[in-house]
Amino acid sequence: EAGVTQFPSHSVIEKGQTVTLRCDPISGHDNLYWYRRVMGKEIKFLLHFVKESKQDESGMPNNRFLAERTGGTYSTLKVQPAELEDSGVYFCASRPSDREVEAFFGQGTRLTVV
Amino acid sequence: DAKTTQPTSMDCAEGRAANLPCNHSTISGNEYVYWYRQIHSQGPQYIIHGLKNNETNEMASLIITEDRKSSTLILPHATLRDTAVYYCIVKRSGGYQKVTFGTGTKLQVIP
């Protein structure tokens, strides 16, 4: 069974540019989560999808961040325009709805804004 | 969610048991103790969780004090691949994933 896959693994962009991160959850997992660790800080929750619907987006830092999950499969997280403080590692995780298990995490995308 | 306190770092000799403590004095009755780890350049990985009874699985054992204010994760025979940051989290059951991972304990397994 393939795990949670994130693309790209690394991204370096200039301040003001746009970046889109992608997450492919484990097949069949309705729940998809985004987290991030900005430099020197803790890993924090950003938002939660159930299928294509946003269940909880209370952790999204501001309106420069837009997450989508069209069709309830893969998800994208767009940062527009990127700022220096957005640098960090963005993690995606997924879990099924039909079993009481913990989420499975992807390897993360390291974003560097210069 | 209740906050947790963990030592910043620990060393453990390869083959010996690694005992990682966690304090969670403000844990509430419906909150579980979860342990994750993050090996360098990977995403967090679930290890084990418990409510009030001690738990054991193929990866580790979890000892929770009777008052539930602290717990210890035990890796019975640490290997070099167990070198990682270990996070203790207190939260509701598995369906609830809106958490902050804290600073964790950096475990260094030494040959």
In the block, tokens 């804004």 appear at A113
Quick one: pLDDT at residue B1? 61
Averaged pLDDT score across all residues of chain B: 93
Long-range contacts of B72-77 (CB under 8 A, 24+ apart): B72/B19, B72/B20, B72/B21, B72/B22, B73/B18, B73/B19, B73/B20, B73/B22, B73/B35, B73/B47, B73/B48, B74/B17, B74/B18, B74/B19, B74/B20, B75/B12, B75/B17, B75/B18, B75/B20, B76/B17, B77/B15, B77/B16, B77/B17
Span A1-19, average pLDDT? 94
Give the whole-angstrom CA distance, residue A105 versus residue A9: 14
The percent of residues in chain A predicted with pLDDT above 90, rounded, is: 87
Q: pLDDT-based confidence at A1, cuts 50/70/90? A: low
CA distance B39 to chain A (A): 10
**Contact across the interface for A102 and B103, Cβ inside 8 Å:** no
Q: pLDDT digits over B28-51, tens only?
A: 998 999 999 999 889 999 999 999
What pLDDT does A70 receive? 86
In this predicted structure, the answer to whether residue B7 has a pLDDT above a threshold of 80 is yes
Chain B residues whose beta carbon lies within 8 Å of the beta carbon of residue A35: 101
Average pLDDT over residues A47-64: 95
A100 and B94 within 8 Å at the Cβ level: the answer is: yes
**What pLDDT is attached to residue A79?**
98
Comparing CB atoms, the residue among B94, B102, B103 nearest residue A102 is: B94
Is the CB of B44 less than 8 angstroms away from the CB of A95?
no
Closest Cα in chain A, distance from residue B16 (Å): 28
B97 touches chain A (CB under 8 A): yes
Give the model confidence (pLDDT) of A70-100 as tens digits.
888 999 999 999 999 999 999 999 999 877 7
Residues B42-93: tens digit of each pLDDT = 999 999 999 998 999 999 999 999 999 999 999 999 999 999 999 999 998 7
DSSP B31: P
pLDDT at A72: 87
